[in-house]
Amino acid sequence: MNTTLKSAACAIVLWGLLNSYVNAQGIIVSAVGPVNRSMGGAGTAAPLESMGALFSNPALISALPEDELSIGLAGVLPVLQTKSSIAGFGSGSTSAEPGITPLVNMGWVHRPEDSEVTYGVGLFSAAGFRANFPASVSNTVFTPQSNNAGVPGGLGQVYTEAAFIQFIPTMALRVSDGVSIGFGPTVTIGDLIVDPFVFDSPDDADGSGAPRYASGIGTRTHWGGGFQTGIYYENEQGLHLGATFKSTQWMETFSYNSEDELGRPRTVEAKLDLPMMVSLGTAWSGWDRFVFATDVRYFDYSNTDGFSSSGYEPDGTVKGLGWDSVFSVATGVQYAATEDLFLRMGYTFNENPIPDSQAFFNIGSPLYYQHEIHVGGSYRLSKRVWINLAYTYYLENDISGPIVTPAGAIPGSNVTNESSVHIADVGITVRY
């Protein structure tokens, strides 16, 4: 039974790779900056400001009317609770304490005078998570790791944290009236902590007969990259169309200096990339004072390292998260109340990438949100300076399934995670 409960508890860390504090499209953020956020993230064909353009469609920067610098700071507060039970062993409920996570985003766009080429640079909080579950004496998956053969044990306290930052230098070319193309490399840096570390095998160096997972804290920043390209079209009647392809972000293998049960040095590793994305967007600005925008996005998790595989290796290593590829739809509207005040609202729907069969392997993960509501606005402080505000609420959702071990699902077992998220975003835009 010790192995059974340890296998059940190991999934608690898996949710870390899923527990993106802002992400409703799996591990990828749904919006960057308060303007893009208040539009629900719909930005593939709506050139409203630099951050949303650089992140959503590199061709879009050619449609911005002026040079621009935008900076945004968001605070993300997840509300997470995990319940688990095994018939005959009781049940328990545990709330996480991830706190408020800050996210910083920046976009800069410049077009030389009389040039058909526009240049831009973006720096974005593209993906990430943080979780902090305390140990428990009643919630089976958070009971301490056992070091006695035959004695049930869980995983104890679980702490996971990750941040994936993308640097995106971009160039866009206006190839004809109303048509632009854009391209840029994407340089991604990632920090990932998973403790205990379930993506490598547990060890029994002390010979107790009860192997334990090592720590995944002693690591460094890891690098990766890819590219994105896009096309944008607009006409004088107010129709806007856009399309973007963003490649897989190929990360180097995450490696950790850890130790076995006797304190001897050990290296543990895991492979995790960010998925390929395809976006199609349309917008309409033909009505006075209004802009309407809609994006449809595809995320290829089922062919991405770290997400595509599922289950266990024979040595107890968790293979991956077992996600499906998914679509999302984002829509937003902007209304110019006055020349100095713009109001926005948006809605985002996401398919759940986690099949019911993989619910156990995504314990505690809030990345199965399906409904997001966004509101916000911008106010002109001076001729060239705007302040931007946004608020997002991810509606409460849950996922539930049996506890699964290498031998199969445990009869009478259940794991349920409930979660919601609040996000406040503030920023400044300077046009010159």
Q: Is the pLDDT of residue 320 over 70?
A: yes
CA 19 – CA 371 distance, rounded (Å): 16
Structural element, H or E, at residue 18: helix 2-18
Instruction: Estimate to the nearest angstrom the gap between the alpha carbon of 22 and the chain centroid.
Output: 6
Tell me what the mean pLDDT of segment 332-351 comes to.
98
pTM of the predicted structure, to 2 decimals:
0.89
**Sign of the alpha-carbon torsion through 202, 206, 210, 216:** negative
Tell me what the mean pLDDT of segment 237-245 comes to.
98
Structural element, H or E, at residue 72: strand 68-86
- In this predicted model, what pLDDT tens digit does every residue of 79-99 receive, in sequence order? 988 899 988 888 999 998 888
Q: What is the pLDDT of residue 27?
A: 87
Q: Is the pLDDT of residue 6 over 80?
A: no
281: left (phi over 0), alpha (psi -120 to 50) or beta: beta
Q: Is the pLDDT of residue 3 over 70?
A: no
Least confident range from 49-53, 68-72, 239-243, 313-317: namely 313-317
The total of other beta-carbon atoms located within 10 Å of residue 347's CB is 17
More reliable by pLDDT, 167 or 418: 167
Q: Is the pLDDT of residue 263 over 90?
A: yes
**Sign of the alpha-carbon torsion through 415, 420, 421, 422:** negative
CATH number for the domain whose boundaries are 2-431: 2.40.160.60
Average pLDDT, the chain: 90
Q: Is the pLDDT of residue 9 over 60?
A: no
Q: What is the pLDDT of residue 324?
A: 94
Task: Name the nearest CA neighbour of 232 among 276, 186, 184, 281.
Answer: 281
Using CA atoms, how far residue 98 sits from 31, 132, 159, 290, 295, in Å, is 21, 5, 9, 38, 31
Residue 91 burial (C-beta neighbours within 10 Å; 0-12, 13-18, 19+): middle
- In this predicted model, what pLDDT tens digit does every residue of 135-182 receive, in sequence order? 998 888 888 988 988 887 778 888 888 889 999 999 999 999 999 999
